[in-house]
Chains A and B, each alone.
Chain A
Amino acid sequence: MVLGIDIGSCYTKGVLFDGSIKNKIVIKTFFKPRQAIEEITSQLKGFDRIAATGYGRELVTDADVIITEITAFARGATYVNSSINSIIDLGGQDSKIIKIRDGKVDRFIMNDRCAAGTGNFVEKIAQALGLRLEEFGNFALNSNKPEMIDSLCVVMAETEILSLVSEGKRLEDIVAGVCDALVRRITGLGAQIGIEEPILFCGGGALNPGLVKSMKRIFGDLIIPDIPQFIGALGAALSI
Chain B
Amino acid sequence: MDIDKIKEAIIELNDRDTKELVANALKKNIDPQEILEKGLIAGIKEVGNLFTRKEYFVPEVLLASEAFYSGFNMISPLIKSQILKKKAKIVIGVVGGDIHDIGKNIVKVLVEASGYDIIDLGKDVATEKFINTVAREKPNVLALSSLLTTTMMRMNDIIKGLEQRKLRSNIKVIIGGAPVNQDFANKIKADAYGKDAADAVRLIEKITGA
Direct contact between the two chains A and B in their complex (CB within 8 A): no
Residues in B lying within 8 Å of A, measured CB to CB:
none
Residues in A lying within 8 Å of B, measured CB to CB:
none
